[in-house]
Structure 1
Amino acid sequence: MPEHATINTIDDVLRELDAIIAHCLDNNDAAGIFAYVYRRTTARVKEGILDRCFEDNERMERLDVVFARRYIDAYRQWERGGLPTPAWQQAFEACRRPLAIFQHVLLGMNAHITFDLGIAAAEVAPGTAIESLKSDFMAINGLLEDIVDELQSRIGRVSPLFFVADWLGGRRDEALINLNIRKARELAWALACRLAPAENPERDVYILSAGELCLTLGRLIESPPGLLQPVLKLVTWVEEKNIRRALEKLQR
């Protein structure tokens, strides 16, 4: 895998994500599920930048790169036997357990959006510059929601009851996916606004608090309360168990 010095553009990020997906295919690693979803959303953001959808398209590419490096760092550390941030450690450890494919997606989103994104945004737009980022930051929500249909269709190829839930819920589960994205990004923006003007030790306190929140949310994703637990067991029971085959079907 290339070092960060070569990851300067969205195309560099996409190549790195392709390498991670290939590694997960070779190792039958469930971490590839989130990597695939992240690769698809990154490609959609690239389309938005090329179409000049943002007020500051160059800054949005910088944000995408800084943001992606946090995931790439975490994955590299984990693969080398190191310890990434606790939220990523939680997500990667869950890849060794028989969770539903959708749970792996949500755990990755929790670590990367709820935690990483706010830190990356504050780095790209420190101090008072953070307010000028808000419009473009929020515009990403629409781009992400645009691909929910596509992602649901692809997940349905390897998780048959995912579509059954879609039919029974009158597409409310799609709204739930979008809600998860929006809520995670709202938390990320709140963190960015706290971090941008902050200095240590205050900054470290904010990051620690955000990390603890992510761990709490991650535990709920892994072991949801009430009827969700048996429902997820049923969903998992009929899913494609071979991660390599699942990833190949997702990418078709």
Structure 2
Amino acid sequence: MNIKQATTINEVIQLLDEIIEESISEQSAVGLFTMLYREVTVKIKEGIQIGSFQNGERMEKLDVIFANRYLKAYYQYKAKEKASECWEFSFQQAETFWPIVVQHLLLGINAHVNLDLGIASAEVSTVENIKDLESDFNQINIILSNLVEHVEKCLIKIWPTLTIILKLTGKIDNFFIDFSMKTARDGAWKFANEFVTTPEEQREDCTQKRDKRIAEIARLVSNPGYFVSAVFKFIRLFERGDVAQKIMNLKIIEEKKPECVVI
């Protein structure tokens, strides 16, 4: 299979649209994260156009390198080639029944932020100037965090009784705090600063070691303990609509804020 890569942010959006359409056609849960990521990319593009970032040209370059890591992993998996371990696990989970929508989103975010974002940030920087990127780096994470929080709030509105139970036990707070965007952001930024100082000949080994650690987090997202897993399974049994409908519902959520639809 041809591994498609983008050269501009418009091409990123176009290729993400292709994956979303393919996911809808194949009833693949891969499209859930891809839809969320598409919205992040659109908002980054809008931010570049209105001057929200310190360096728009650098931001587009970062966005393309960042996206191409996801695109490469996706096409490798589709071709039954070895993708990075954390992406491989995320794609495998997309083929199973039990993960709920939020878990699919977190699995994608885990791989893309905790592994890919740090590498992409280092690749558009040098040891001398990576500090200049921090503000724009944080802006990407704010965009992503706001979108994820909105989806989580919609889930809470859909399942108010279960939310009360989870909050009383402290379990839902622990689950999302353990995988908070702040934790992911801080870890990715630390990794970016480490990776930018790594000699070229050692970067592949560094990437593989980081990949294994992020794959362990993915397994925790997939299996967050007996109680939370049992509740998620209960939610999953009563989720409405097929995968294609859930993908489109995520699009509706972003287009019609602050309304929520059943996912």
Partner of 1:125: 125
CA distance in 2, matches of 1:190, 1:116: 13
Corresponding residue pairs, total: 246
Deviation at 1:196, TM superposition (A): 0.7
Partner of 1:27: 26
Output the amino acid matched with 2:134: K
Normalising by structure 2, we get a TM-score of 0.83
Matches within 5 A, 1:1-252: 3-4=4-5, 7-98=6-97, 99-148=99-148, 150-152=150-152, 156=155, 160-161=158-159, 165=163, 169=167, 176=176, 180-240=180-240, 242-252=242-252
Unmatched tracts of structure 2, length 5 or more:
253-263
- Does the 8 A contact of 2:3 with 2:76 survive in 1? no
Unmatched tracts of structure 1, length 5 or more:
none
CA distance in 2, matches of 1:162, 1:76: 38
Output the amino acid matched with 1:144: L
Deviation at 1:238, TM superposition (A): 1.1
- Does the 8 A contact of 2:54 with 2:136 survive in 1? yes
Distance change (3 Å), C-alpha of 1:222 and 1:131: same
CA distance in 2, matches of 1:242, 1:215: 27
Output the amino acid matched with 1:138: N
Distance change (3 Å), C-alpha of 1:146 and 1:200: closer
CA deviation string 1:191-210 (max 9, x = no partner): 11011121145433432221
Please, what is the CA RMSD of the aligned residues? 2.8
Output the amino acid matched with 2:159: L
Distance change (3 Å), C-alpha of 1:210 and 1:186: same
CA distance in 1, matches of 2:250, 2:161: 14
Select between 53-62 and 203-212 the one with higher mean Cα deviation: 203-212
Output the amino acid matched with 2:127: G
- Does the 8 A contact of 2:122 with 2:192 survive in 1? yes
Distance change (3 Å), C-alpha of 1:166 and 1:181: farther
- Does the 8 A contact of 1:160 with 1:238 survive in 2? no
Distance change (3 Å), C-alpha of 1:9 and 1:177: farther
CA distance in 1, matches of 2:54, 2:161: 37
- Does the 8 A contact of 1:145 with 1:178 survive in 2? no
CA distance in 1, matches of 2:227, 2:30: 26
CA distance in 1, matches of 2:178, 2:215: 21
Normalising by structure 1, we get a TM-score of 0.87
- Does the 8 A contact of 1:70 with 1:116 survive in 2? yes
Partner of 2:255: none
Distance change (3 Å), C-alpha of 1:166 and 1:21: farther
Distance change (3 Å), C-alpha of 1:2 and 1:166: farther
CA distance in 1, matches of 2:164, 2:46: 28
Select between 198-207 and 34-43 the one with higher mean Cα deviation: 198-207
